[in-house]
């Protein structure tokens, strides 16, 4: 996916935090630490530093949700991060983003911390905590099947 395509899909998925621009995606893609897993209608983007992977964003087009694409993208991202030496993956998610939290739980992510009020009230959404999640890479994820997806 091009930076412009990534930005367009991100804008279709996010209001809070604000969608990223094509220039921001281009800058990330220019870094050797960046990991991009992309399929039609979605992508997962993060970076690997030493033995840690940080998922920065995951987006699934609204018309393609609830079909397992988010889980496939996350699995591809984790496999590439592990191939680059990551042994742990972590991310943050808004406490009120229940579909995303369910997806991460299925993939084996567990709460490792919380940032109260991290996401300020904006774009018509109330303030929300950021939940920090992590999981070791290399093991099979566990959790219930049939979890809905989110951007």
Total domains in the chain come to: 1
On whether the CB atoms of residues 26 and 45 are closer than 8 A, the answer is no
In the predicted structure, residue 149 carries a pLDDT above the cut 50: no
Which residue range forms the structural domain that includes residue 95? 3-136
In the predicted structure, residue 8 carries a pLDDT above the cut 60: yes
In a domain, residue 132? The reply is yes
In a domain, residue 148? The reply is no
E runs forming strands in 88-137: 88-94, 110-119, 128-136
In a domain, residue 80? The reply is yes
Query: What SS3 class is residue 125?
Result: strand
In a domain, residue 142? The reply is no
User: Residue 61 corresponds to which tokens in the numbers above?
Assistant: 């087009």
In a domain, residue 129? The reply is yes
Q: What is the mean pLDDT of residues 108-134?
A: 87
On whether the CB atoms of residues 150 and 60 are closer than 8 A, the answer is yes
Burial of 132 (0-12, 13-18, 19+ CB in 10 A): middle
In the predicted structure, residue 112 carries a pLDDT above the cut 90: yes
pLDDT for 11-68, tens place per residue?
999 877 789 999 999 999 999 999 999 999 999 999 999 999 999 999 999 999 989 9
Kindly report the CATH number assigned to the domain that includes residue 20: 3.40.630.30
């Amino acid at each position: 996916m091009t930076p412009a395509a990534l930005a367009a899909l991100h804008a279709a998925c996010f209001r809070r935090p604000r969608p990223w621009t094509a220039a921001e995606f281009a800058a990330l893609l220019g870094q050797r630490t960046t990991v991009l897993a992309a399929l039609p209608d979605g992508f997962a983007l993060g970076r690997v530093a030493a033995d840690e992977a940080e998922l920065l964003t995951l987006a699934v087009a609204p018309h393609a949700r609830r079909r397992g694409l988010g889980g496939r993208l996350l699995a591809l991202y984790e496999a590439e991060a592990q191939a680059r030496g990551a042994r742990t993956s972590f991310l943050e998610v808004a406490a009120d983003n229940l579909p995303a939290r369910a997806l991460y739980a299925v993939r084996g992510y567990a709460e490792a911390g919380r940032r109260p009020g991290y996401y300020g009230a904006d774009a018509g959404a109330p303030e929300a905590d950021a939940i920090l999640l992590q999981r070791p890479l290399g093991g099979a994820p566990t959790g219930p099947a049939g979890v809905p997806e989110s951007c």
